[in-house]
Chain A
């Protein structure tokens, strides 16, 4: 932005970083440059494995255990951090350059109070007495709009919510008044409605103290709200760099355009009154805490119903009730015109076969010691009694359906990429020849481009096989891309259910309005406009 000085703060030149894994050294960064001026925010975006996090940490002269800086200069205020010893760098870390991590819940020490952690780095400087630092921290909490700023510091990390922790971590980073803050995916683990609050709090405080920042994320819409300039990384190399507005209106590289391709995927909606599954007035509880209240949902045959909501809204619990993993305490499930028994053990094999589920984390959903052949072959054998040569032919047929081939038969899950793993999980669900597949956040752990591939595959399979999907997600872009109908859930209750066009267009119930308006858009002024609108 024009009012910011052009005084150089950080200049990284030709950074090469290698990482050691699987018994050999890999190149993580292959010669990336980066310049940052005082008071400026640079957005660093890319998919997982692009090296953006490594680059962010390298800006501090830090590499994770098992990584090393092979070549390059990191000039911070005229000092080359790459040449400093650990001891010298520690004087800069936390005080001149501070770091805000992705998962605040995991990054706070569970054994210490929040206030002690907030001021620990500033305390190390010994410039101000502890009391003054505490007072300052309370002021920071206030300007980050934390509730009960006076006392929240006396709590332990487990006693406050994720969104609050992320803001406290920002206060912690700001406490020693650093010259540079590295934000490493600070809102990725948050719900959209919380994300808005955290983003605006971080933006205003960075603005207030004119601190320079590097903002790392995979979400282009988020970075558009925060950054003055955006740099795109891929495979450890720079793809392009431009002012935020230029980048959004006119991305030069094909790759940059593809980063928001999912958002352009839209499915025409269709529905019918022939319900394959109806759940009626379901209550469910974990132990004594009730999590579902009178939930009723109808799923039309051969269509896709997206269940959206934030964490804790009960969407995954609904899936567990449908599959019988968590028997409901009240209400009934009608599947294919027949009542399903609440308990898994009391359902027939045929009933089990017809409802399959695909999970969010393909890594943990597959037995790491089984080959692809075993993973897909077992449900074929179990449900359809097909064995030997016939079974193998069936497995290969399924692999082809998910756009893989027989060369994958003998591979273990560890030898597959994230997207391939999720495809195998889809094939495993298809192997039972089900009528209904529940997809529980199946694309959340995947990169944008891979997401697009999986969503397209699911649509193709629906067209070919007529299978019905329940698609559980918190991501509105995914909902637009795949669903016919939408169910909005909030705190264990159904807010509304209806056709996609009806739910996504006004008028909305209050919660739906809040949820939809919180989804970041590819417009650098989106956050500003939203905050203005909400405060008016």
Chain B
């Protein structure tokens, strides 16, 4: 049921993505051939790229290919010189996969840092509610949530690259970069992504637990002699997984989208940069593919969160 709903969502996204980009002003053919191009040249290129077909036909052609794992060919790889017959067009898939790996590496590391940290901070803030620790943690998290990612990124550059040159400002990596080197080079973008998502996750963990702490079974647990730690970890946390996993899903998706900006700032070869570059070049197949990947990730993450919500709730797992 949820799975079909997820598929429908992705499908709806694909329609939106396709139509949005199709109706964008500007046209790849005019873009590469220049303002002075003859009408027939533009027409020929459009025909070659299939841009002359009606949008609906193009959409279903594209969708059909996507189902077979073929995202089409990039526009911009092809020859700009007329008459050159060598096919230099590049497959979108081949273009995206290494970039996607890089982005997943970046967000994966950031997630592995951000999720445990925000859980620990959130739980301990709930445990010592209204203490100075709690107040400063929630206060600071509000600041990090409210700062835009480029701002956070530049603050990190200022602190950790310029004033105290510990990490590099440019996070360029390629296939030859070793793992240790990768960690080192991506430190600042990882920190940025961690910081912008951690605040939200931590605050929601805290409030989910505090919410549960006021329920009757918590008072009952206290009256049966459970310690403070036991109350929070054994009695409150198992009932908080559903809301917490939802927030984590949203933040992981946000992290992926945030990587568009962060990758640009740190010149990291991820899918976000690729997408920005492709929008600039009106390279529709690439943009569409990136957008679809972002959308599906969002849907998949939410599905996982729903699943955790079901698994952690005996009421849904074991019927009456």
Hey, which bits of chain A sit against chain B, CB under 8 A?
57, 60, 62, 64, 90-95, 98-99, 101, 103, 106-112, 120-121, 124, 155-156, 158-159, 172
- Which chain A residues lie closer than 8 Å to B215 at the CB level? 106
Residues of B contacting A95 with CB < 8 Å? 225
Q: How far is the CB of B244 from chain A (nearest CB, A)?
A: 13
Q: What is the 8 Å Cβ interface bit string for chain B, positions 206-242, against chain A (1 contact, 0 not)?
A: 0000000001110111111111000000010011000
A156-B314, A159-B320 in contact; A121/B216 too (CB < 8 A)?
no
Minimum Cβ distance to chain B for residue A115 (Å): 13
Whether the Cβ atoms of B223 and A62 lie closer than 8 Å is yes
Known: A156-B314, A156-B315, A159-B320. A111 touches B223 (CB 8 A): no
Closest residue to B314 on the A side, CB-wise? A156
Is the pair A101, B225 in contact by a Cβ cutoff of 8 Å? no
Residues of A contacting B216 in the complex (Cβ-Cβ under 8 angstroms): 101, 103, 106-107
Contact A112 B224 (CB under 8 A): no
Contact with A along B124-137 (1 / 0, CB 8 A): 00000000000000
On chain A, the residues within 8 Å of B219 by CB distance are 64, 101, 107
A158–B224 CB distance below 8 A: no
In the bound complex, do residue B223 and residue A158 qualify as a contact, i.e. CB atoms below 8 Å apart? Answer: no
In the complex where A106-B215, A109-B235, A111-B239 touch, is A101 in contact with B220 (Cβ < 8 A)? yes
Minimum CB–CB distance for B115 against chain A, Å: 21
Would A121 and B239 be within 8 Å (CB), given that A107-B216, A156-B315, A159-B320 are in contact? no
22 of the cross-chain contacts (CB-CB < 8 Å) are A62-B223, A90-B225, A92-B225, A93-B223, A94-B224, A94-B226, A98-B223, A98-B224, A99-B223, A101-B216, A106-B215, A107-B217, A108-B217, A109-B220, A109-B221, A110-B313, A111-B313, A111-B314, A112-B238, A121-B224, A121-B225, A158-B314
B23 at the interface (CB under 8 A from A): no
Apart from A93-B225, A111-B239, list 19 A-B contacts with CB within 8 A.
A90-B226, A93-B223, A93-B224, A94-B224, A94-B226, A95-B225, A99-B223, A101-B216, A101-B220, A108-B220, A109-B221, A109-B238, A110-B239, A110-B313, A110-B315, A111-B314, A156-B314, A156-B318, A159-B318
| B320 smallest CB distance to A (angstroms) | 6
Nearest to B228 among chain A residues (CB) is: A86
Contact pattern, B 309-320, Cβ under 8 Å of A = 1, otherwise 0: 000111100101
Residue of B nearest to A87 (CB): B227
| Given A106-B216, A108-B217: A91 in contact with B315 (beta carbons within 8 A) | no
C-alpha spacing A172/B221, complex, angstroms: 11
Residues of A within 8 A of B238 (CB): 109, 111-112
Q: Which 7 A-B pairs have the closest CB atoms?
A: A94-B224, A94-B225, A111-B238, A93-B225, A106-B216, A156-B314, A107-B220
